[in-house]
Structure 1
């Protein structure tokens, strides 16, 4: 076929030469996004409010790595010590870059709110893809539900610890943290519903605050700290506070804190249907976030370790006992409770901002899975509010479940922490399965280039590389390392922090993850297999472009 240069090239013209060929005039972003979504069989019903900077702010807020590294400081200090924390951070950072680079390839290939469960449908063999896709949907939803609960929990308990720092006579109770947790979730609901139209602007502002806040914390802590640890101690002193049989085992168990601080960059994927030029913007925002946040997090970890001269005393301090030794470190460095409180408040604000983004991500997943008839009550849950074009009911359901989970903390903080661990195990399970299928498909040559697709109206969910793609052997190596790293983290996410292991300190996240899978399997066999057929094809591929 002879291609013509003109204002209205056909879909076949674009697919034969590619969307960026000089003989083809640019396609408007809105038209291109609708075309790509139609290739996945989906209608474009959500308003595309996010650009690169706003979605970058969104993903940076999700990770809040430098803030999260401080909040989760105890895990690495207990199992690993200062040296273990440094080298463990680097290992996790390198692994996370591989994980989300691979996920970015998938996001460029299929930028849909369904994310992992939709990709599994595309990548798996026909005989098992419906079942695998359904189980994946539940894993990812439960993982993000746990992360949302974790964000609210950390926000509430950090505020409780701040009160403890400033008032020696204060006696914290578990329900105090839960009440503040609920307040934070309510604020997140308000932002995601009443002010949803300005959410991208809020996320852009938070990105600026995220970077400025980093320097606002780092500079005073480093400059004012009266003492410094030696370079030798920082980079060679390991700790096995969990009393494990070997230092190596303790090191790997201590990785989980750093993993949680870098978890969730796939949030951009689940906002893809609200992002302009999603096939390019979403993958690059994921990669930029992982590199930027990783660098900020590493800098803050190194700085705080150098100003911590007595790790044992910090862990035994009142705020250390509550799980936040970084507060005592700030107080020791500044010599002022007021000064330390200001620095801590920056972290509290960023954590609350993260909860807003957690809720947005989790609700979009619930909405997408309901749209494909994967959840009970899917007809109602999949509805979009006409005026604001947001999944209002999905937001309310997601936040209500998070508040119910918060009740667990009143009875046992250990049980609640196990729920939070479900976020790591569930999401990493979804990463491993999805990336393993991608590795299989790319090694067998099943994924084609866009220029090799020559049909104007074709089958939905074809395996076609997007603009973001690591070609050849390099892509295979990165993909393989992502799978290996994921398996390591998944395995150690189920380990308790210390020995001897008692019922009160056991990590029951393996039980919770298994329960999610078991429930999904049983529900699928008894009910969902009658309604869930995989991602529903709502429109004919490529039919959105004249």
Structure 2
């Protein structure tokens, strides 16, 4: 069948509604995939989705303690700039790949198209599991932080409240339930929800920044930009600085979220790269502004670090406003954004898992790859993702410290998956293996064993190589230090167990690959005939 004969027929066999549907269906078919999800997201709703997944200005105040203890005020400020620059390069690389192959699979699909044929299946499989690890940990961490923020607000407003670990677990489950409800409805609910949250994200920034900076006593510029701390008692301030970077990195976590929603976005090869790059620009600007404001308004350091709420930013807001009600209101804005972010994270996490199941990369793939025909939502993948998060919440009852290591596991899992594809992309662009779009749409491209073609978003020439190289160097640094504990004297309470979780899951996935997956996993399956 020719491209002309496919004019009104989708690769899935259904009729197309118009030129935009035809274009999106054909672009996905060129990657070898049938379209089974509804394209409900446009540019603005996807920008809202990308921005509110990152929520950098909210995340930087929530994870403020880690950057401050290892780095101090100056370390937090300079560390944010380093992370912002590294994240921008990393996101540019993700945007290029998303423009080439906008599928829900993301990293494992890109790995299959970039890796040498002899290693394609294994590299793609391991990268898929790294992404699964990273996103499951990111979603669980988001729900945990949201629940603990609610507990912090209760402690702030009810001093006699005695927090228990199981309280946090119940609040965690409530956030998961809310996320499932929004995701299970389907249709235009999620895109409209994300658009609304983008409005709160921007408005909330000014609602907090203005009163805090106007009412607080300010530190001097010299104090902010020259005061370093090494609360972890590391051998050098430089080492302490790099360990403190992880807090800033987590505030930018989830840059590939838009990628995993690609099959639900109109004109994905253009919209996804734009939303990724705009999100790092918007969130980086807001995050840096909020961090600098927080540092200038920090007064009593000891009291801040020992806040009974567990969150130093609440104490900073309280010292600035001298109002419990005002602090609770500002804290509620950040908490609301955290809860709403979990909704988008569940969507991205479940789509990635659904796509990996579609290509037979996980046990029970037949069930997890199902999509409800009436709502076009992978409800089984959504349900499994939520169930895994609820089971992980039980860890908090036994050990809050062990659960906190999910933050590092989130960073290590996602950045390891980014690093694999970034190295492969750097190799391909240096060897000239990727050609420019030639206008022909009657061929399979950018999948395993097919021709590599740049998408609409592409950083050309030596600049692209330099950006890609900086992204690889940055990722190596971040992954390396994500496994370090926050203190040099390692005890049970300060040990970073993320290395156990990350590499333990990798080892189990490799065992499953040897025993079973290598017989059924061929990389991304080509579901349509050559066009």
State the TM-score, normalizing by the size of structure 1: 0.92
Unaligned runs of 5+ in 2: 6-17
User: How much does 1:459 deviate?
Assistant: 6.0
Match of 1:63 among 45, 49, 54: 54
Structure 2 equivalent of residue 167 of structure 1: 158
Match of 1:187 among 164, 178, 193: 178
| 1:3-57: CA deviation from partner (whole Å, max 9, x where unpaired) | xxxxx9969xxxxxxxxxxxxxxx9322121111111100011000001110111
Structure 2 equivalent of residue 308 of structure 1: 298
Structure 1 equivalent of residue 375 of structure 2: 388
Q: Could you tell me whether the CA contact under 8 Å between 2:40 and 2:187 is conserved in 1? A: no
Distance 2:355 2:138 in 1: 18
Matches within 5 A, 1:435-474: 435-451=422-438, 456-458=442-444, 461=447, 462-474=451-463
Q: Are residue 198 (structure 1) and residue 192 (structure 2) matched?
A: no
Q: Structure 2 vs 1, CA of residues 292 and 526 (structure 1 numbering), >3 Å: closer, same or farther?
A: same
Structure 2 equivalent of residue 499 of structure 1: 488
User: How much does 1:386 deviate?
Assistant: 0.6
User: How much does 1:163 deviate?
Assistant: 0.9
Match of 2:479 among 483, 490, 493: 490
Q: Could you tell me whether the CA contact under 8 Å between 1:41 and 1:460 is conserved in 2? A: no
SS of match in other structure, 1:527 = helix
User: How much does 1:172 deviate?
Assistant: 1.1
Q: Structure 2 vs 1, CA of residues 138 and 507 (structure 1 numbering), >3 Å: closer, same or farther?
A: same
Matches within 5 A, 1:289-300: 289-300=279-290
| 1:373-409: CA deviation from partner (whole Å, max 9, x where unpaired) | 1111111111110110000111001001000000001
Which moves more between the two structures, 308-317 or 377-386? 308-317
| 1:471-516: CA deviation from partner (whole Å, max 9, x where unpaired) | 0000000000000000000000000011211122100111111111
User: How much does 1:61 deviate?
Assistant: 1.1
Q: Structure 2 vs 1, CA of residues 77 and 459 (structure 1 numbering), >3 Å: closer, same or farther?
A: closer
Matches within 5 A, 1:88-107: 88-107=79-98
Unaligned runs of 5+ in 1: 1-7, 12-26
Q: Could you tell me whether the CA contact under 8 Å between 1:103 and 1:266 is conserved in 2? A: yes
Q: Could you tell me whether the CA contact under 8 Å between 1:460 and 1:537 is conserved in 2? A: no
Q: Are residue 317 (structure 1) and residue 307 (structure 2) matched?
A: yes
SS of match in other structure, 1:414 = helix
Matches within 5 A, 1:280-291: 280-291=270-281
SS of match in other structure, 1:473 = helix
Q: Structure 2 vs 1, CA of residues 279 and 408 (structure 1 numbering), >3 Å: closer, same or farther?
A: same
Structure 1 equivalent of residue 41 of structure 2: 50
Structure 2 equivalent of residue 23 of structure 1: none
SS of match in other structure, 1:254 = helix
User: How much does 1:313 deviate?
Assistant: 2.1
Distance 2:411 2:43 in 1: 27
Distance 1:316 1:380 in 2: 47
State the TM-score, normalizing by the size of structure 2: 0.95
User: How much does 1:420 deviate?
Assistant: 3.0
Distance 1:459 1:500 in 2: 52
Q: Could you tell me whether the CA contact under 8 Å between 2:186 and 2:376 is conserved in 1? A: no
| 1:450-488: CA deviation from partner (whole Å, max 9, x where unpaired) | 11x757344662310000000000000000000000000
Distance 1:456 1:369 in 2: 26
Q: Structure 2 vs 1, CA of residues 455 and 220 (structure 1 numbering), >3 Å: closer, same or farther?
A: closer
Match of 2:511 among 512, 522, 531: 522
| 1:89-123: CA deviation from partner (whole Å, max 9, x where unpaired) | 00000000000001100000000000000000000
Distance 2:389 2:441 in 1: 45
User: How much does 1:174 deviate?
Assistant: 1.1
Structure 1 equivalent of residue 228 of structure 2: 238
Q: Could you tell me whether the CA contact under 8 Å between 2:30 and 2:441 is conserved in 1? A: no
Q: Structure 2 vs 1, CA of residues 513 and 9 (structure 1 numbering), >3 Å: closer, same or farther?
A: closer
Match of 1:147 among 119, 131, 138: 138
| 1:209-245: CA deviation from partner (whole Å, max 9, x where unpaired) | 10001000111111111x1111110010000011111
User: How much does 1:530 deviate?
Assistant: 1.1
Output the aligned Cα RMSD.
Answer: 1.6
Structure 1 equivalent of residue 14 of structure 2: none
Count of matched residue pairs: 516
Q: Structure 2 vs 1, CA of residues 267 and 455 (structure 1 numbering), >3 Å: closer, same or farther?
A: closer
Q: Could you tell me whether the CA contact under 8 Å between 2:40 and 2:265 is conserved in 1? A: yes
Q: Structure 2 vs 1, CA of residues 201 and 458 (structure 1 numbering), >3 Å: closer, same or farther?
A: closer
